A = this chain, B = another copy of it.
Amino acid sequence: MNKTIDSLQWRYAAKRMNGQKVPADKLDNILEAIRLTATSNGLQPFTILVIEDKATREKLHAAAFKQPQVVEGSHLLVFAAWKKVTPEQIDTYFEMVYQERNLAKGSLDQYAGFLKNHFGKQTEEEQFSWASKQAYIALGTALVAAAEEKVDSTPMEGFNAEEVDSILGLNEQGMGSTALLALGYRDETADHMVNAKKVRRPKDKLFVKI
């Protein structure tokens, strides 16, 4: 059996959480899985804000239509994607590649130039959309990694992005919030969805074999 399937069978989007704290080692494993996630060209065009501070989560709670998990979980991850993909960011990435792989500086100039040209032709909206999609790959990983730690996770798109960005000062850093992920433990008494059957489109509808 594939462990990923087990993990996804176990998980569900908890509607209520009980306030129990996710231990540091489990949180670290979830974050490390996010860090190792593949992204297009390896650029990882996002920052993940890991928010335990209650006062900050209370402000975000209001900006996320008062979804209880924001404050009933113990940590809230905010996936903040780059609004623009700049030549400077691409240079920073290649500096890291040269150092980590012990390559001569400039040896990947052609590749870097290709990326600068590629993103240079895109609108800001296209760049943010691309960066957001990369963050969603990491979101997919986080859901699996959390379930494996038997940590509940609730992904959320229902929030006022402008308010979240303003609370966290993301605009000033050239980023925008694209998804939230509450981490914590399900409240089995209060959550009416705790025993709901998982509903997914059947294989013959979701997949087309050619």
- The reply to whether A44 and B206 contact each other, CB–CB distance below 8 Å, is yes
Judge whether A183 is part of the interface by a CB distance below 8 angstroms. Answer: no
Judge whether A184 is part of the interface by a CB distance below 8 angstroms. Answer: no
A49-B205 Cα distance, complex, nearest whole Å: 11
- The reply to whether A197 and B29 contact each other, CB–CB distance below 8 Å, is no
Which A residues, 137 to 175, have Cβ-Cβ distances below 8 Å to chain B? 137-141, 143-145, 148-149, 155, 157, 168
- The reply to whether B143 and A33 contact each other, CB–CB distance below 8 Å, is no
Task: Look across to chain B and name the residue whose beta carbon is closest to the beta carbon of A9.
Answer: B36
Judge whether A105 is part of the interface by a CB distance below 8 angstroms. Answer: no
Per the CB 8 Å criterion, the residue count for chain A at the interface is 66
Judge whether A67 is part of the interface by a CB distance below 8 angstroms. Answer: no
Judge whether A104 is part of the interface by a CB distance below 8 angstroms. Answer: no
Which A residues, 11 to 57, have Cβ-Cβ distances below 8 Å to chain B? 11, 13, 29-38, 40, 42, 44, 47-53, 56
- The reply to whether A145 and B5 contact each other, CB–CB distance below 8 Å, is yes
A42-B198 Cα distance, complex, nearest whole Å: 9
A30-B49 Cα distance, complex, nearest whole Å: 30
- The reply to whether B210 and A47 contact each other, CB–CB distance below 8 Å, is no
A4-B4, A38-B155 known, 19 other contacts, Cβ within 8 Å: A3-B3, A4-B29, A4-B33, A4-B144, A4-B148, A5-B36, A5-B145, A34-B206, A35-B206, A44-B201, A47-B206, A47-B207, A49-B208, A50-B210, A101-B197, A101-B199, A133-B178, A136-B139, A137-B137
**A interface residues (Cβ-Cβ under 8 A, vs B):** 2-5, 7-9, 11, 13, 29-38, 40, 42, 44, 47-53, 56, 96-97, 100-101, 129, 132-134, 136-141, 143-145, 148-149, 155, 157, 168, 178, 196-201, 203, 205-210
